[in-house]
Structure 1
Amino acid sequence: MSSLGDARSSKEWFQCAEAIVEIEGDLVYKRRIEKRYRVKELDKRIRKERTKSEAKLISEARRKGVPTPIIFDVNEYVLVMEKIEGNLAREAINEDISERIGEFVGLLHKSGIIHSDLTTSNIIVGDHIYFIDFGLSFVESSTEARGVDVHVFFQSLEGTHESYGQLKESFIKGYKQTFPQAAQVLKRVEEIERRGRYVER
């Protein structure tokens, strides 16, 4: 994510893969950008559908007990959400926070929601632990999809934190507390890791 902000402006801008995010006051505006390689009408339909889907999954996750930003408005390609104050988990995570993250991921998976970009850069630690950026999220209940979700989180820990082992174990502890099929998913995570090592060879 790259900043497009201007030091002279009160607004903050960030460029993501599929959207421009603008922070203004207490609000966040996420606008899906046009993909010129797609047929124009198809591009409009895809952006509208993905915007609505993201809003729906953010709200559903919140209803299931996972802290997420409140959605104030959905307007074709734009989501208007509350601004969450705090630090990214990659800067604030410890074993207690990692355990809580595991609990919330368990609630997501129990609800059939796959985040699909589950990294410490998409979790904000403030007065609560908030999950953000559901732009790639979808609904699925397969062990493989859940395993990939957890694997991505473990990779984000391994790449940025020296205490990876302890943070991973804390996450697993929390995940098992809220998700009955945790053992199956964690076994699949091990298989995914082995597949990755085989490909690297």
Structure 2
Amino acid sequence: MRLIAQGAEAKIFEAEFGEVFGADLLKEKVIVKHRVRKRYRIPEIDIKLRKERTVREARILHRAKDFGVNCPHVYEVNLRDMTIVMEFIEGARLKELLERLPMEERLELCREVGRQIGRLHRAGIVHGDLTTSNMILRERRVYLIDFGLADFDSTLEARGVDLHLLKRAMESTHYKWFEEGFEAVLEGYAEILGEEERRAIEEKIEEIESRGRYRERSWVG
């Protein structure tokens, strides 16, 4: 196994299917996500939290699949080691890919991003870390990855925050064209959830942004 990423909560390894499951002939790549122990936590609480978060992430991925979201398959959940073994999604990250494409193709990919988020929200799930770094194009299909911060939450507030975070991420990463790109995301979102839901989510995003501006003004004052 090869360590490819490490965050506050987990280590991410790339491995081969055979390494994990003992089938030497299978060379398919997998991702092994290991939730690491936090030594500052009481051991019983640490085990409980890691177990809950591991189970929740696996359930979220299963439910997202059921609702047509392109995301990794879960192969195994090991609550002794606090690991999830899942499909390795090999392809181009949208963060880099979008900058290389003609505008028309960029916007069509953004619409597909919106469709995927619409399906995710229809399943009652928020991703929690929607950025183009967590989206991969594989065989002309957009996949959402890294569900470590995802949760079951169908409220308009939670969905608004999810899309607000994507808007902010696009503004930072794709600042030259993010307004057109995010508009295309909302178009794709409406294809799944309808125009009424799009209007509601746009109003919620504006409300969230106005709260941020108010806090900034209060801080300056």
After TM superposition, the score normalised by the length of structure 2 is 0.83
Q: Which has the higher helix share?
A: 2
In structure 1, what is the equivalent of residue 85 of structure 2?
80
In structure 1, how many angstroms separate the alpha carbons of the residues matched to 2:138 and 2:88? 11
Taking the TM superposition and a 5 Å limit, the aligned residue runs for 1:84-123 are 84-93=89-98, 94-123=106-135
Let me know the Cα RMSD of the aligned residues: 1.2
Query: How far off is 1:11 after superposition?
Result: 2.4
In structure 1, what is the equivalent of residue 40 of structure 2?
37
Equivalent of 1:18, from 4, 9, 22?
9
Q: Which amino acid aligns with 1:82?
A: E
Is 1:194 equivalent to 2:215 in the alignment? no
**Counterpart secondary structure, 2:136:** strand
Taking the TM superposition and a 5 Å limit, the aligned residue runs for 1:40-189 are 40-76=43-79, 77-93=82-98, 94-127=106-139, 128-161=141-174, 162-180=176-194, 181-189=197-205
In structure 1, how many angstroms separate the alpha carbons of the residues matched to 2:3 and 2:44? 30
Query: How far off is 1:182 after superposition?
Result: 2.3
**Counterpart secondary structure, 1:99:** helix
**Counterpart secondary structure, 2:64:** helix
**Counterpart secondary structure, 2:76:** strand
8 Å CA contact 2:31, 2:88 repeated in 1: yes
**Counterpart secondary structure, 1:72:** strand
**Counterpart secondary structure, 1:90:** helix
| Unmatched runs of 5 consecutive residues or more in structure 1 | 1-9
Query: How far off is 1:13 after superposition?
Result: 2.4
Identity %: 40
Identify which range, 114-123 or 153-162, moves more after superposition.
114-123
- After superposing on structure 2, the runs of 4+ consecutive aligned residues of structure 1 that deviate more than 4 Å are none
Query: How far off is 1:194 after superposition?
Result: 1.3
In structure 2, how many angstroms separate the alpha carbons of the residues matched to 1:20 and 1:169? 35
8 Å CA contact 2:69, 2:119 repeated in 1: yes
In structure 2, what is the equivalent of residue 7 of structure 1?
none
In structure 1, how many angstroms separate the alpha carbons of the residues matched to 2:200 and 2:8? 32
Query: How far off is 1:17 after superposition?
Result: 2.2
Which structure has the bigger radius of gyration?
Answer: 2
Number of equivalenced pairs: 192
Identify which range, 80-89 or 178-187, moves more after superposition.
178-187
8 Å CA contact 2:78, 2:84 repeated in 1: yes
8 Å CA contact 1:59, 1:68 repeated in 2: no
Query: How far off is 1:87 after superposition?
Result: 1.7
Query: How far off is 1:137 after superposition?
Result: 1.1
Deviation string 1:17-53 (CA, Å, 9 cap, x unpaired) is: 2100001230110000111221111100110110011
8 Å CA contact 2:129, 2:150 repeated in 1: yes
